[in-house]
Structure 1
Amino acid sequence: MKTYQIIFLLLSTISLSVSSFQYDVEVAEKLSAYSLASYCSHSNLKNWSCGKTCERVEPLKDVKTFENEKEIFYMIGYSQKDDAIVIATRGTIPWSIKNWLTDLSASKIDYQNCKKCQVHLGFYQAFQSIVDSLKIEFIKMRKQYQNSKIYITGHSLGGALATLLIPEIYKLNNNMPIDVFITQGSPRVGNQQFSSWFEQNNNFSKISARITLNKDPVVQLPAYSFPFSFKHIGNEVFYKDVSNKFEFIQCLKPEDQSCSFGVYFATNIADHQSYFGFGWGTELLFCR
């Protein structure tokens, strides 16, 4: 083989390695279904009887749910089929003024886990209001299912909460990467240093994806530009539409013009409610 051909192949391999990452569509769809289920009521989740939303995936065993006075919610349970502990943090309930106040508290606060890191004040305060309870439930479930996998997921505000949660579960997992971390329509969570810290730690997971969809406006918030200066974490999986779940673009680095950062006039709230073709906007009304 000629020298220039060898160089071309090496460059092609390097290019591939920096533009893509491991992504499992079927697992991503399943975790998205669990994210949607987290919008359902406590009683329906306990019995796994929330209609189409619950029928889409296998029931979770030993489901625990928690909601506080800020109307921040999570569920944790065990998937026997996947042998996995599943944690889903809920997104914004459309009629919850408290949830919207959380979303709009877009000033920054220092984040102690990494140097010069700052995160969204509202997301951080919401996270702090559930993290102690969630850790307790995770430790209990980990003792019961010692060798199980760990899945973490969340949609919208829930995606931001899941992003703040994963370093904590990583610590409780003996500083070992969790198995799958997938969010849908997550807003930006922290500053440049926070994003870089996530990258340095490989998103604290073996498989991770920050899924975005076409003109979803939530993934453009809070603003990237000065004076807000928020930045996404990487491993983005960008869908132009929901007609083919196997047709997507992978962007390893955050704020890549090839993915959602390259979308102008991202004002279609329907995209925020259409991940994997699920009826996020309507199904939650019937599973409450």
Structure 2
Amino acid sequence: MSAAIASVTKIRASSTLHKDIKNYGPKNMIDGNVDTCWNSDVGTPQWIQVHFESDVRVSALVFTFQGGFAPKCIKVMMQDGAEWKVVETLWGVDVSKQQVFEFKKSIKVPALRVVFEESYDTMWYRVLYILMVLLLVVLLVDAGGSESRSEPTYETTSAEMREWIMTQFKYTRITVCRIGKLDDGTWTCRPKSLCNRELNGTVLIRGLRDSQRALNPSNIGNAGYISKTNKTLIVAIPPSYGYADYLLDLTTQWTDIPTKRINESYSGAPFSAKVHKGFLDASERILGQVMDAFDEWGVIGYRKMGIERVVLTGHSLGAAVATLLALSVKHHLNPRVKMDVVTFGSPRIGNTEFAEWASAELRNMSYRVSNRNDVIAELPPRAMRWAHIEEEYFVTDTWHHTINRCPATTSTESEECSNAVSFMALNPAAHFNYFDTPYCY
């Protein structure tokens, strides 16, 4: 199964009263047309109409609603000559999270109208409805009712590579844990804790703090930490933890890379490159702290301080921030220092132009690890012109630690790994359970 909606799909909405995108949401859904921005105070019923490039067989709809709007009764209609005929009646729930509506029977259509007849918000005459379709995915099967794929061509990583990747994940895992004694900067933890095994002896360089991120139980820093082990510096960024982080995650607003950043750090980035605003802002707020530590330890500049490698790692929101930090520091690195970026469950960070540039910048440095069925790794959706950077490492068996390298097959993404998983099979739990590694003991 795959998503039928793409950037060329034509979408129209019943009402576009407010086009002030600063106050009333994104200027369009996916097709660059302001008329697809549905935010209105005219109340229900309202509708969205989708015209595909060719006939598709639709089996389900997936929506995420925000801004106080949650539909109760949804009518799905197909065109019958000049008329629209109801083919499915669906019932939503009053939540601001993803809702999946499966059809009793798939339908083959050139166009679809989704009518929101009734809302849970009974005070609609006072409340401004802002429907931001973060995810409008139409799942389909081919005309024959089935879908076939060629055998995947990915390669399984070596045992040594798997162990190295899993070790980096443990560094990200403990970003939300209280570490043991830190009087001398060295971790001393309880006997069975993560930092007492292969991470034991790691020396804390500094904690990273961000006043706009959520507080977490860490006694090092709510935005991560920098540590040293042997001749390697580790920069570990935590995942989303609290309300402030979740608000940052939920935006699908992207922004231009500031010209100053292109001149200073994002050297060569095209002006058409756009990046997730929340992720960019979060990385900018701790960049100075990271650069100060790198300068102190000779990671940037030309001083020889014994550091031979720096690894930036993070999970979820932390994965996106770690990637942007890597792009910011790359051109400042001491030529003696090697850099790796190892991320887990990263959402998409920017548009295709950004992903292509970032992939070239981090080639042979980036390890984007995604768990099988991890829903966050598929968001924001490609249908809205978001794209991942290379190169994906796909976990097909988290219990036995099977990790497969997935070279890009189209643009910057592989079609044979995460993108080959049915959307209906994606599971939020898979985002949190990498390698069966707990957070804290």
TM-score, normalised relative to structure 2? 0.54
The partner residue of 1:270 within 399, 415, 429 is 429
* Total equivalences in the alignment: 256
- Structure-1 separation of matches of 2:243 and 2:293: 27
| 2:406 corresponds to | 251
- Structure-1 separation of matches of 2:418 and 2:356: 19
Matched, 1:123 2:279: yes
Note if contact 1:152-1:182 (Cα within 8 Å) is conserved in structure 2. yes
Note if contact 1:191-1:231 (Cα within 8 Å) is conserved in structure 2. yes
Matched, 1:107 2:248: no
Matched, 1:196 2:362: no
1:199: how far off? 2.5
Q: Aligned to 1:255, what secondary structure does the other structure show? A: coil
| 1:77 corresponds to | 227
| 1:138 corresponds to | 294
Name the stretch that deviates more: 169-178 or 150-159.
169-178
Q: Which amino acid aligns with 1:249?
A: N
Note if contact 1:75-1:88 (Cα within 8 Å) is conserved in structure 2. yes
1:233–1:87: structure 2 CA closer, same or farther, 3 Å change rule?
A: same
Note if contact 1:216-1:268 (Cα within 8 Å) is conserved in structure 2. yes
Structure number with the higher strand fraction is 2
The partner residue of 1:170 within 318, 330, 335 is 330
- Structure-2 separation of matches of 1:107 and 1:175: 36
Note if contact 2:233-2:307 (Cα within 8 Å) is conserved in structure 1. no
1:243: how far off? 2.1
| 2:438 corresponds to | 279
Q: Which amino acid aligns with 1:236?
A: E
Deviation string, structure 1 residues 149-169 (Cα, Å, up to 9, x no partner) = 111111111100011011222
1:44–1:164: structure 2 CA closer, same or farther, 3 Å change rule?
A: farther
| 1:187 corresponds to | 347
Matched, 1:36 2:169: no
| 1:160 corresponds to | 320
Note if contact 2:252-2:276 (Cα within 8 Å) is conserved in structure 1. yes
RMSD (CA atoms): 2.5
1:236: how far off? 0.5
Gaps of 5+ in 2: 1-152, 214-221
Q: Which amino acid aligns with 1:105?
A: T
1:176–1:22: structure 2 CA closer, same or farther, 3 Å change rule?
A: farther
Q: Aligned to 2:377, what secondary structure does the other structure show? A: helix
1:44–1:185: structure 2 CA closer, same or farther, 3 Å change rule?
A: farther
Name the stretch that deviates more: 173-182 or 233-242.
173-182
TM-score, normalised relative to structure 1? 0.80
1:240: how far off? 1.9
| 1:151 corresponds to | 311
Q: Aligned to 2:386, what secondary structure does the other structure show? A: coil
Q: Aligned to 1:68, what secondary structure does the other structure show? A: coil
Note if contact 1:32-1:153 (Cα within 8 Å) is conserved in structure 2. yes
Q: Which amino acid aligns with 1:272?
A: H
1:90: how far off? 1.2
1:44: how far off? 6.1
Gaps of 5+ in 1: 1-17
1:104: how far off? 1.2
- Which structure 2 residues correspond to residues 56-95 of structure 1 after superposition, within 5 A? 56-58=197-199, 59-71=201-213, 73-80=223-230, 83-93=231-241
Structure number with the higher helix fraction is 1
Q: Aligned to 2:329, what secondary structure does the other structure show? A: helix
Larger RCO (alpha carbons 8 Å, 6+ apart)? 1
1:49–1:146: structure 2 CA closer, same or farther, 3 Å change rule?
A: closer
Q: Which amino acid aligns with 1:66?
A: L
Q: Which amino acid aligns with 2:349?
A: V
Note if contact 2:393-2:405 (Cα within 8 Å) is conserved in structure 1. yes
Q: Aligned to 1:276, what secondary structure does the other structure show? A: coil
| 1:223 corresponds to | 381
How high is the sequence identity, in percent, across the aligned residues? 25
Name the stretch that deviates more: 46-55 or 106-115.
46-55
Q: Which structure's CA Rg is the greater one? A: 2
